[in-house]
Amino acid sequence: MPFDAMEDLPDDALLARFAEGDAMAARLLTLRLTPRVMAHAYRLLGNRTEAEDVAQEALLRLWRQAPDWRPGEAKVSTWLYRVVANLCIDRRRRARGGSVPLDAIPEPADGQASAADRMQDRARADALQSALNQLPERQRQAVVLRHIEGLANPEIADIMDVTVEAVESLTSRGKRALSALLAGRQEELGYADER
Amino acid sequence: MPMSDKDQDLGGLGAFFDAARAHPPAPSPDLLARVLGDAEAEQIWITRRAQPAAEAPRAGLLEQLYRLLGGWPAMAGLTTAIVAGVWIGTALPEGVSGSTEAAYLVDITPEAVFELAGDF
């Protein structure tokens, strides 16, 4: 099958080809899934090096699961979100602390307008990450899945193994905590402009 | 698909979530290489593991016995034990062939003793 046609295949179909020994499927899945998994791990951990280790481990588990994967039974992305969350929780329990305080976030540098806008956007992302690092694990996971990954509450409930109502409660409390944590920086990060 | 948070009641957090989606942490080339290396290694292992399963019925009785016993380490031990047993059973040392001890020995291959006796 040509590369372009394979690019359109869903994750589980590529995983089936991977299990059959298709080298192209291995490359496509690596390029498709690594950024997603790495980004999710980083948002849960707030540490790049650890997020990369978690991403590698989560994907290694996926490769090993490939021969036994049943297409259509579970979404690959859902399975990966669950594995990443478990690996992140294990790591955070092993090594408590390490979150970056809000004061440690680099300040936006003075410069040209477009560069300043980009810096501000970047600074907002960094500020959010630092605030996320301070949330309890379950609230952080729920907020990230809902408002950054954009998943629906039932899928989040499946990933987190809780009820939809529990997801709503976790995201609600998480957002309140984030608002409180970011309130002090609203002026410098252009927070007030977006209201 | 990530949604826009602009129109939702996020208490001003929408801009932060939008910024986070716009600036995802990119994986390093080293991570991509590590992940692809794992994928290729696992793929080789998976395909190798699948092949013996298909060829298993064609494996001979000796091959199956060899695997059942645990491969070459077990076979080496077994061979040593067999050789030692044959040697002990056929080459009787001088002391064992005394009048008292000989009464307790059961010679199951007397011909072999006669044939080998000339060598000692």
pLDDT of residue B118: 59
pLDDT of residue A111: 44
Q: How many CB pairs under 8 A join A and B?
A: 122
Of the listed ranges A98-107, B29-38, B58-67, the one predicted with least confidence: A98-107
- Compute the nearest-CA separation of B51 from chain A (Å): 11
Do residues A69 and A18 make contact, with C-beta atoms less than 8 angstroms apart? no
Do residues A131 and A182 make contact, with C-beta atoms less than 8 angstroms apart? yes
**What average pLDDT does the segment B8-26 reach?**
85
Q: Using the beta-carbon criterion (under 8 Å), do A190 and B15 form an inter-chain contact?
A: yes
pLDDT of residue A65: 95
Residue B16 above 60 pLDDT? yes
Residue B4 above 50 pLDDT? no
Q: Using the beta-carbon criterion (under 8 Å), do B39 and A190 form an inter-chain contact?
A: no
Give chain B positions within 8 Å (CB) of A125.
16, 19-20, 22-23
- Compute the nearest-CA separation of B14 from chain A (Å): 8
Please, which pLDDT band fits residue B99 given cuts at 50, 70 and 90? low
Residue B97 above 70 pLDDT? no
Give chain B positions within 8 Å (CB) of A122.
19, 23
Domains and CATH numbers, chain A: 3-94 (1.10.1740.10), 102-194 (1.10.10.10)
- Compute the nearest-CA separation of A160 from chain B (Å): 19
**What average pLDDT does the segment B78-93 reach?**
72
pLDDT of residue B51: 75
Do residues A171 and A88 make contact, with C-beta atoms less than 8 angstroms apart? no
Residue B72 above 90 pLDDT? no
**What average pLDDT does the segment B83-101 reach?**
64
Closest C-alpha among A86, A77, A78, A82 to residue A29: A77
- Residue B78 vs residue B105, higher pLDDT: B78
- Compute the nearest-CA separation of B42 from chain A (Å): 6
**What average pLDDT does the segment B22-30 reach?**
93
B102 has a chain A CB within 8 A of its CB:
no
Do residues B12 and A180 make contact, with C-beta atoms less than 8 angstroms apart? no
Q: Where are the domains of chain B?
A: 13-58, 60-120
Nearest by CB: B23 against A59, A122, A149? A122
In sequence order, what DSSP letters do the residues of chain A get, joined into one string? --HHHHHTS-HHHHHHHHHTT-HHHHHHHHHHHHHHHHHHHHHHH--HHHHHHHHHHHHHHHHHHGGG--TTTS-HHHHHHHHHHHHHHHHHHHS---PPPGGGSPPPPP--HHHHHHHHHHHHHHHHHHHHHTS-HHHHHHHIIIIIS---HHHHHHHHTS-HHHHHHHHHHHHHHHHHHHGGGTTTTTTGGG-
**Distance in angstroms (rounded) separating the CA atoms of residues B120 and A8:** 81
Residue B102 above 60 pLDDT? no
- Residue B118 vs residue B21, higher pLDDT: B21
Closest C-alpha among A90, A97, A98, A117 to residue A189: A117
pLDDT of residue A115: 66
pLDDT of residue A8: 83
- Residue A59 vs residue B109, higher pLDDT: A59
pLDDT by residue, tens only, chain A of 195 residues: 666 778 889 999 999 999 999 999 999 999 999 999 999 999 999 999 999 999 999 999 999 999 999 887 889 999 999 999 999 988 888 776 554 444 444 444 444 546 666 677 888 899 999 999 999 999 999 999 999 999 999 999 999 999 999 999 999 999 999 999 988 776 666 654 544
